[in-house]
Chains A and B, each alone.
Chain A
């Protein structure tokens, strides 16, 4: 139903049929000319900075410092990997990623299946689902921070006064036992509808007559789900999981707003930003950035291979 615009890497539509090579040459020149601004931007603000980060991670460079820059080999990497604060930040981040992606996927799948059926107000529901994704992360963090307030927060009010589940108010954000679940809940609230929309788009391209055939063959609902819906949804699931995991591993905004730069609840990105910007440690911070880059890369490659193995 929705127009799915898919970019194909392999096949190029031929604009002008092969006339003579002069025309082809002119075409090529024009194409590169048109691409030049895009490539310039990518090189200037992404590739050169990336190369610089790699180089700086091997030096003792500091920001805005007159001190001569010295090559220090892998010393920064040794420091990073042996720093208990960084190891803790990795643990916090991975824990956050596993919990949020898991719940976002399960809840998102349920919501997608529910919204995929026919009912009045479906369009409205889809629009409502877009809103948490579209709003500023800092805004959603502030909204939840207020709802979590230990004295005047609505969550304490709901659980203590209205339902009586809890005996006394909980300081959700400062209590070590509740702070991680609390922040994970914020992320799950913001991203689950987005996950549901991506999965919903995947569900909608599955042709309905497949289910028709399955019903004729006597497959019940649950069986249809396992043997038809899930396998056919696999590409959408893979894409969704990769996107969500990438986002969760580089999480910054919500932690920065809710917890500040408290070392006990610092994800990798806040740790890196602190070292780079607050402490001006360009060399050390770059090594941190490269380690984060590698960790994210490992996750992506793992997903890709896991899914490929299962598909074959």
Chain B
């Protein structure tokens, strides 16, 4: 009897702790959403309304009629997609070599790639800025697409190498017996087998590129080249007449750019987690 009771109590305690954790994680999103559907007359009053009396979609209309924001969405999509595809393409052939070939110099290359995954971008900001200017790429999207490879490519190579290594040895033998060249073996036999790895690394590269701020704020200048993080950051001044911060619109913007990420995370959570733990390497 007492045993059952203490079991019940610990179960209740457990779910209380779980609820606290969940509320802690989710509350800021709830608040952003609540603010995005609250009309300004209710947004700037005290005491604060925890849910608006008259929900509105006016802030979303402002966001979707704001040309700068739409351009930023387009720019971010171009930059993140290009960087991801480049990383996957370059990274796959590189990881194929590291994962399936035995050659001298393989170990140094592996250590180089590993150390690059921990490379602090701030250390090369000045030189990259200089390079971007010299190449005439200042305030151009390719400046970001190229420099984002600094953090997407090493990670992609490192994780994909592990996927290639995990494939059975007999694969090439069978393919070679059938007369396939190493490159044919790569894209006909192996590519389908490492597809989960491509999804994982592609997602992480995309998320990282989509979220990047330091290079974007340094290499871009005009509104027509802004990426999403820049647009969200500069909402304060670009709308609202410059005297009052349009918090409702900013929150609508944050919800708009966050929902796709939440959907991605819900669909691919296992892929992302395995990628994160693979990225957190053990040497």
Which residues of A pack against B, CB within 8 Å?
Answer: 2-9, 12-16, 24, 27-28, 30-32, 34-35, 37-39, 41-42, 45-46, 48-50, 52-53, 56, 63-64, 111, 114-115, 117, 119, 123, 125-132, 134-140, 142-144, 146-147, 149, 151-154, 157, 161, 189, 193-194, 197-198, 201, 235-236, 239-240, 242-243, 246, 249-250, 252-253, 256-257, 268-269, 272-273, 276-277, 282, 285-286, 289-290, 292-293, 296, 300
A residues near B110, Cβ cutoff 8 Å: 7, 9
A residues near B61, Cβ cutoff 8 Å: none
Query: A117 contacts which of B14, B162, B265, B283 (Cβ < 8 Å)?
Result: B14
The answer to whether A146 and B250 touch (CB under 8 A), given A53-B127, A139-B257, A292-B123, is yes
A277 touches B218 (CB 8 A): yes
Contact stretch, chosen from B1-9, B62-70, B97-105: B97-105
Residue interface mask B20-37, A partner, CB < 8 A = 1: 011011101101100100
A256 to B176, CA, bound (A): 55
A7 touches B162 (CB 8 A): yes
Question: For window 219-276 of chain B, which residues contact chain A by CB distance below 8 Å?
Answer: 228-230, 232-233, 235, 247, 250-251, 254, 257-258, 261-262, 264-266, 269-270, 272-274, 276
A174 to B149, CA, bound (A): 37
B residues near A292, Cβ cutoff 8 Å: 120, 122-123
Query: Is B114 part of the contact surface with A, judged by Cβ < 8 Å?
Result: yes
Query: Is B78 part of the contact surface with A, judged by Cβ < 8 Å?
Result: no
In the complex, 12 of the A-B residue pairs with CB atoms within 8 angstroms, ordered by the A residue number, are A31-B97, A32-B97, A111-B21, A132-B25, A134-B272, A142-B251, A147-B31, A157-B46, A161-B47, A272-B126, A282-B126, A292-B120
Query: A27 contacts which of B101, B165, B250, B269 (Cβ < 8 Å)?
Result: B101
A35 touches B133 (CB 8 A): no
Query: Is B93 part of the contact surface with A, judged by Cβ < 8 Å?
Result: yes
B276 touches A143 (CB 8 A): no
A124 to B31, CA, bound (A): 20
B109 touches A35 (CB 8 A): yes
A292 to B126, CA, bound (A): 13
Residue interface mask B83-125, A partner, CB < 8 A = 1: 0000000110110111111111111011111101011111111
A residues near B281, Cβ cutoff 8 Å: 6-7, 239
Q: Which 7 residue pairs across A and B have the least CB separation, nearest first?
A: A38-B94, A49-B127, A7-B162, A34-B97, A49-B124, A157-B48, A31-B101
A138 touches B213 (CB 8 A): yes
- The winner among A14, A130, A277 for most chain B CB atoms within 10 A is A130
B103 touches A293 (CB 8 A): no
A282 to B124, CA, bound (A): 11
> Within the complex, what minimum Cβ distance (angstroms) separates A79 from chain B?
15
The answer to whether A38 and B46 touch (CB under 8 A), given A45-B150, A134-B207, A269-B214, is no
> Within the complex, what minimum Cβ distance (angstroms) separates A269 from chain B?
5
Q: Is the interface of B mostly helix, strand, loop or mixed?
A: helix
B94 touches A34 (CB 8 A): yes
Query: A45 contacts which of B45, B99, B149, B251 (Cβ < 8 Å)?
Result: B149
Q: Is the interface of A mostly helix, strand, loop or mixed?
A: helix
B residues near A154, Cβ cutoff 8 Å: 31, 48, 50
A242 to B18, CA, bound (A): 27
B125 touches A142 (CB 8 A): no
B residues near A157, Cβ cutoff 8 Å: 46-48
- The winner among A2, A3, A151 for most chain B CB atoms within 10 A is A3
A residues near B258, Cβ cutoff 8 Å: 135-136, 139
- What is the chain A residue whose CB lies nearest that of B125? A276
B122 touches A15 (CB 8 A): no
A156 to B63, CA, bound (A): 27
B residues near A2, Cβ cutoff 8 Å: 270, 273-274, 277
A9 touches B118 (CB 8 A): no
B278 touches A39 (CB 8 A): no
Query: A142 contacts which of B127, B232, B280 (Cβ < 8 Å)?
Result: B232
A28 touches B104 (CB 8 A): yes
> Within the complex, what minimum Cβ distance (angstroms) separates B138 from chain A?
9
- The winner among A30, A138, A249 for most chain B CB atoms within 10 A is A138
Query: Is B55 part of the contact surface with A, judged by Cβ < 8 Å?
Result: no
A residues near B262, Cβ cutoff 8 Å: 131, 134
A139 touches B254 (CB 8 A): yes
- What is the chain A residue whose CB lies nearest that of B86? A41
A residues near B172, Cβ cutoff 8 Å: 15-16
The answer to whether A130 and B269 touch (CB under 8 A), given A5-B163, A5-B197, A147-B28, is yes
